[in-house]
A and B are shown apart, each in its own frame.
Chain A
């Protein structure tokens, strides 16, 4: 652990995420070489709610992993809250990730060995060790916000899919990240539950002013995001207001 904390308050930077000509090539230099992302440039500012859409195999998830520092990119420039991520060590990437980014995954991905509130607290515990009162209060507050105040001590495998996903959202927010990345968060939920989960994203987007990037297949949800970025074969083919998305794209979503 390095002692130099990267302390950034969300107010410092209006631009939370900035990608400049990002390329991602898997198995570079081998016969299996696969160029997944081509010169992807985009910018996400504080408080934005962005839908990232595209057919499967278009590179959405890879892009999300690159943005979340879970995966490295091959070339280009990626800044998180103004921080250049080029050449960071695994440790520094982990630190930046834990300070700036919250994740929500498709399959709710909770740690089944822990109960709901411990799952919410996990990012804080991994970073600071034993949680203090304030942190526990905040986790309870978030669980209350997602409507699970009574489920704090429940084992996660006794929660329904929608409940689990709401725990995951609370977990993503517990570090008060500047950026939340969600990979098909409603992918395996029924329509009504999906809508409820999406409501939460919208609410937190407004209340916490965090930028949210949601990868989704669901045209109804992407339509609810003010901005849509569309990816085809690793290239951005549309980046603008969701309302203006050409019809040809909405059909094939």
Chain B
């Protein structure tokens, strides 16, 4: 019962705090307007820069991961096995590293089926990849022969989306080549092409189509063919060299790579390892953004605090009167905390609107570069944080107001 009383009491007593806070803000419209604009500029910068960097980064990641798997499993690398060293003796050994010949993953069908069980792995795609020469007449280019299982491989790179000429076919002696390679060798769709994988394994293939992945290295080197064809050419009958995996949460790739490593005991690498520099750049970019956000937020907080500090001094006498009229110290405290919160709320609402407009303008001006998406969660958290920051900023001036000695404050002119 007393709890309900307390709630009712709190609600009733907060009513007047709200009223006084709003009246105080409205009573000094210019000051309120100026600080709201200052807060909104800060909030707009934070919202815009956050969305911009998020858009930029997800764009970079999308582009990077569009043409590669998240996790790659390869056969364990070959290494030298040393004989047991005799006890109590130092042994000097000169080790020359073993040549890594093309090597199939043992029991890859079993590995694939096991990984298929895990729902996290969207796609598990076998791939046989090895070096070869492509020749047409006297022109010759070194290429990477990619033997794929088309259905599964579409989960890694959907080649049909990148096809710019011809049609998707890798059956029999059909191959798909990058448009850059076609240019280098003077090929067009329907032309013949000789693939030489060494050791007298060669074959004449038919260019069924051309793709453009947008990465020069891939467009000038990749030659896609069927698993079987590649196995024959690379002399690994029935074998594959790589299992490629895609997952939903790209940033958990490291974790799943480690788990797969433990599970299969094979050589497993995530995209995060192989793109260390990129991630490094992204994280330092994020850090810079974070710094900007913190400094902008700080200047907003100090702005609110200084305006309220001035307002507290201006209203010294009125605070004294309120105290004489029976307001408690807590009520005065809340009046100023509310003012801080209201300023933060109003300023950030306006700021989010400005940030949203800026982003729309950015998207309209240069839609080709990349599109910034403004998540509603970003907007909501900006408003929430700014309101909270307003309350925090009001803390010091509000405490000062609450501690005024009413007898002194009332005489303040």
Using known A-B contacts A68-B324, A70-B410, A94-B326, determine if residue A113 contacts B26 with beta carbons closer than 8 Å: yes
Any A CB within 8 A of the CB of B236: no
**Stretch of A122-130, A230-238, A242-250 that contacts chain B:** A122-130
Per the 8 Å Cβ criterion, residues 305-358 of B in contact with A are 317-318, 321-329, 331
Using known A-B contacts A109-B410, A113-B24, A126-B331, determine if residue A70 contacts B15 with beta carbons closer than 8 Å: no
Q: Which of B2, B317, B326, B410 contacts A126 (CB 8 A)?
A: B326
CA–CA, A98 to B323, complex, Å?
9
Residues of A within 8 A of B27 (CB): 112-113
B24-A126 in contact (CB<8A): no
Using known A-B contacts A70-B323, A103-B324, A111-B318, determine if residue A126 contacts B16 with beta carbons closer than 8 Å: yes
Residues of B within 8 A of A130 (CB): 12, 15-16
CA–CA, A98 to B328, complex, Å?
10
Any A CB within 8 A of the CB of B11: yes
Q: Which of B2, B11, B16, B406 contacts A125 (CB 8 A)?
A: B16
Any A CB within 8 A of the CB of B367: no
Residues of A within 8 A of B325 (CB): 98, 103, 122-123, 126, 171
Residue of B nearest to A111 (CB): B318
Any B CB within 8 A of the CB of A138: no
Residues of B within 8 A of A110 (CB): 321
Any A CB within 8 A of the CB of B81: no
Q: Which of B11, B322, B407 contacts A70 (CB 8 A)?
A: B407
Any B CB within 8 A of the CB of A151: no
Interface centre among B23, B24, B321, B405 (most CB of A within 10 A): B321
A71-B322 in contact (CB<8A): no
Distance between B22 CB and nearest chain A CB, rounded to angstroms: 9
Q: Which of A90, A95, A105, A111 contacts B322 (CB 8 A)?
A: A111
Any B CB within 8 A of the CB of A35: no
Residues of B within 8 A of A68 (CB): 324
CA–CA, A94 to B20, complex, Å?
18
Apart from A98-B327, A103-B325, A105-B324, list 19 A-B contacts with CB within 8 A.
A3-B5, A65-B407, A70-B324, A70-B407, A91-B328, A94-B327, A109-B321, A109-B410, A111-B23, A111-B322, A113-B24, A113-B318, A114-B23, A122-B322, A123-B325, A125-B15, A126-B322, A129-B15, A130-B16
What 8 A-B pairs come out closest when comparing CB atoms? A98-B326, A129-B12, A113-B27, A113-B23, A71-B407, A129-B15, A70-B407, A65-B407
